[in-house]
Amino acid sequence: MRDTSGEKRALTRRDVLKGAATGAVAAAAAGVAAPDEAKSIEPGIPDPLPTYGMVIDTRLCIGCHACSVACKSEFDVPLGETRSWVEYVEKGNYPNVSRSFLPRLCNHCRHPQCVDVCPTGATWKRDEDGIVVIDEGICIGCKYCMQACPYDARFLNPINGIVEKCSFCIHRVSKGMVPACVETCVGGARVFGDITDPESEVFKLIEKNPTTVLRPEKGTEPNVFYIAADHTDEHTKLRGRYVSVTTHRRQKERM
């Protein structure tokens, strides 16, 4: 059985409704009028659970790496390894040149390939919020998930021999906070929330702006969306045109 004691689930609307319904039953048994909130509950209508995701507006990213530093500090990431990072994409021939920034992290995919290959079940996708997590207690460091991930989002911690990656700061989200990278982004380029909630900021951003995801051909359906991102890859460079992608990681080339 997975040890999820350190991953408390965020309070959802379903929890609130269940609590209200329980209170209504208790009040009725005691002969006390039920509150208006309990009266309005319609039985048989399921309340959808959230699916957390992130929108990154690259027009607002200045490549300062504050997000990467905050992530390393939050999780005490070993030197040379990263859970979240920012790539520099440079291309063109002088004087027509450009530089853009592409923040990277685990995409918490709808169909994560890393889950399918894990032999111990250490990697799984949470039903209550869609976050892909790793159970450090049963991870054996086999690296199958690292090979399966199309986004190079995982690394093997050289200290404890366990695979790690971005977890959307689940320990913060469960307390109603946003991930550390979102909180520290000086340009406000990162927005986190429930991508299925029409009232959430992330939902509205996706609805109002053309967005892209990384490597859509892989069929994983990422839950990290980009606005105005330049996905140029060195392998797709145009003839005679300079293209350079700097990852700022130990792995110098992008996967």
**For 55-107, how does the pLDDT look when each residue is reduced to its tens digit (9 = 90+)?**
999 999 999 999 999 999 999 999 999 999 999 999 888 899 999 999 999 99
> Cα–Cα distance between 20 and 29 in angstroms, integer?
14
Position with higher pLDDT, 240 vs 251 = 251
> Cα–Cα distance between 83 and 68 in angstroms, integer?
8
Answer left, alpha or beta for residue 230, where phi above 0 means left and psi between -120 and 50 means alpha.
beta
User: Which tens digit of pLDDT belongs to each residue from 161-186?
Assistant: 999 999 999 999 999 999 999 999 99
* pLDDT attached to residue 254: 76
What is this structure's pTM?
Answer: 0.80
* pLDDT attached to residue 40: 37
- Per-range mean pLDDT, top range of 5-14, 43-52, 56-65: 56-65
pLDDT-derived band at 241 (thresholds 50, 70, 90) equals: confident
Query: Average pLDDT for residues 206-232, to the nearest whole number?
Result: 96
* pLDDT attached to residue 248: 87
Residues above pLDDT 90, as percent of the chain: 70
Residue among 104, 112, 130 nearest 196 (CA): 130
- State in Å, rounded, how far the first CA of the chain is from the last one: 34
Establish whether the linkage from the previous residue to 95 is cis, with ω within 30° of 0: yes
pLDDT-derived band at 236 (thresholds 50, 70, 90) equals: low
> Cα–Cα distance between 209 and 172 in angstroms, integer?
28
Hey, is 236 helix, strand or coil? helix
Residue range 52-110+168-246 forms a domain whose CATH class is alpha beta
> Cα–Cα distance between 45 and 94 in angstroms, integer?
61
DSSP string across 177-190: PPPHHHHH-TT--E
Query: Which of the 8 DSSP states describes residue 145?
Result: H
* HEC sequence for 103-150: EECCCCCCCCHHHHHCCCCCEEECCCCCCEEECCCCCCCCCHHHHHCC
Tokens of 238: 């145009």
* pLDDT attached to residue 235: 67
> Cα–Cα distance between 164 and 29 in angstroms, integer?
50
As annotated, the residues of the chain forming the CATH 3.30.70.20 domain(s) are 52-110+168-246
26 pLDDT higher than 90: no
pLDDT-derived band at 198 (thresholds 50, 70, 90) equals: very high
Residue 237, exposed/middle/buried by CB under 10 A (0-12, 13-18, 19+)? middle
Instruction: Report the half-sphere exposure of 111 (CA within 13 A, side-chain side).
Output: 6
pLDDT-derived band at 24 (thresholds 50, 70, 90) equals: very low
| Residue carrying the six token digits 């105005």 | 228
